[in-house]
Structure formats: C-alpha cells, structure tokens
Amino acid sequence: MHAAAGGPAGASTAPGGGRRGIPFVMTGASGVGKDTIRREAVPALGDLFYSVSATTRGQRPGEEHGVQYYFLTPQRFESMLRDDGLLEWADYVGDYYGTPRAPVEAALAAGRDVLLELELAGARQLKRALPEAVMIFIAPPSLAELERRLRGRGTDDEAKIQKRLARAREEIRAVREFDYVVVNDELGRAVHEFQAVVRAERVRATRLRDEDVRAFLRES
Ligand code: 5GP
C-alpha cells in the first residue's frame, strides 16, 4: 500500500463520466472499537455505503443476518468464492470473512463512497483490487487495553482471545502500510479524526475530473 491515495486527475471518473465513489477501508484488531467509531462517525458524513461482509463465524447475541454480517455456511461461502462473488476474503481465527463483490462495485460505479471493515490480509487484497482505496488503521492505545476490552466483551473463549491478540500484534506491526492511523483511546476524538480523514479525502485535488476543472474556469 502506498502513502498517497487517489490517482491523476480524472482517475476517479466512472465509465459513464460521473464521479466514482471512494473506497474507505477500516482495519484494526477485533475489539478495538471499529464498529463503535463507524456508528458514531457515519451519520454526519452524508452518503457512505457500508459493505456488509459475509462470514462463517457464529452469530453473536444482538447480531442480525444482513446487518452486521451475512452469516453463511462454509459451503455457501465457498460457492460464492468459486463464482468470483467476493472482492477479497480471508481466514481469520478459524472462520472465513469476505466482501460480496456486486454491492461494492455497484455503489462505486454509482458515485457512492464505500466503507469496508477488513482484517489485514483482506485489506491488502482490496488495495490491490482497488488501488484508489483509502486505508485507515484503527489502533488500540495498547495491547493490554485491547486484551481488557476483548475479555470484557465476553464473546470469545480463552483460545480465541489469544488468537485474536496474536493477529492484533501482527496487524499493528503493519500499521505503516496504511494511509492514516486513528488511535481509539478516547472515542470522541477517534470519531472526529475518522471523520476528518473522510472529509479531507473527498476534497483531494487529485480526485477532480476534467469537467470539474473546466467548471472552475468558466467565465460567463
Ligand atoms: P469479528 O469476528 O470480530 O466481527 O471480525 C473479525 C475480523 O474480521 C475483524 O478484524 C474484522 O474487521 C474482519 N472482517 C470483517 N469482515 C471482513 C471481510 O469481509 N473481509 C475481511 N478480510 N475481514 C473482515
């Protein structure tokens, strides 16, 4: 992943000539608070399509099929994979997670910005598939704090907690591959920083289309 997002002027133009949406990828350890940041940050950001992932992991209390995830059997997941129906996928702590391709491609083509929550392997695949993606890492203040939050959530047994912490350690070591890092030590500040990233990326000069520049130059 490269530090700069966006291509040359015109690169974000959709085939029909309209603006193409921007893919925003959020990566960070399970338990770091990505969902909370998203819930708090997104309402003030206007149109931002959230990509609901497919997973084979068990449903947690309060989770609904089609809202947090599409909960699939391994057979169904594998058949989507075979049909090229996933934009990226990964095996995370013994379960599959993947991004259904069609909704994301349709949203981007329609000019809608898209938010994806992916672990590291999937984030890297996504960046290869969509090089214009903006990569945002959500970091815990420390691994000790992350461990405390994972235990507090009470959704995983000890073995899963240890595996999730090991993955978190690996992901944190890769933090410099990302464009931005938001530390979730104080929720209000983390939300504000996440919003600042989205807003700044939306007004990058590199995303201007030729017709935008022509419009600025219009004199009568
Ligand atoms: P959890 O089980 O805590 O909901 O998610 C575990 C990890 O999988 C998190 O890091 C989450 O961001 C990641 N994840 C969720 N959906 C996807 C996906 O579609 N693809 C990939 N690669 N990772 C995902």
Phi, psi of 107 (to 5 degrees): -65, -45
Nearest CA, atom 24, ligand 1 = 118
Q: How confident is the model at residue 87 (pLDDT cuts 50, 70, 90)?
A: very high
> How much of the chain exceeds pLDDT 70, in percent?
92
How does residue 7 score in pLDDT terms, banded at 50, 70 and 90? very low
CA of 8 to the centre of ligand 1 (A): 31
How many Cα atoms sit within 13 Å of 34 on the Cβ side?
A: 20
Four-CA torsion 33, 35, 36, 42, nearest 10 degrees: 130
For residue 2, the model assigns a pLDDT of 43
pLDDT of residue 18 exceeding 90, the answer is: no
Averaged pLDDT for residues 142-162: 90
The finding on whether 97 has its CB within 6 A of some atom of ligand 1 is yes
Q: State pTM to two decimals.
A: 0.90
CA distances from 136 to 10, 39, 157, 179 (A): 23, 16, 28, 6
Task: Kindly list the structural domains of the chain, giving each domain's residue range(s) and its CATH number in brackets, ordered by start.
Answer: 23-51+112-217 (3.40.50.300)
**pLDDT tens digits along 160-193:** 899 999 999 999 999 999 999 999 999 999 999 9
Segment 129-133 long-range contacts (CB within 8 Å, at least 24 positions apart) = 129/87, 129/88, 130/23, 130/87, 131/2, 131/7, 132/5, 132/6, 132/7, 132/11, 132/12, 132/20, 132/22, 132/23, 133/5, 133/22, 133/23, 133/24, 133/25
What's the order of all strands across the beta sheet hosting 69-71?
A: 69-71, 53-55, 95-100, 86-92
**Contact between residue 155 and residue 29 where contact means Cβ atoms under 8 Å apart:** no
Evaluate: CB of 98 within 6 angstroms of ligand 1. yes
pLDDT of residue 3: 39
If one compares 31 and 7, the residue with the highest pLDDT of the two is 31
Q: With cut-offs at 50, 70 and 90, classify the pLDDT of residue 156.
A: confident
- Closest residue by Cα to atom 10, ligand 1, is 119
What's the whole-number mean pLDDT along residues 72-76? 98
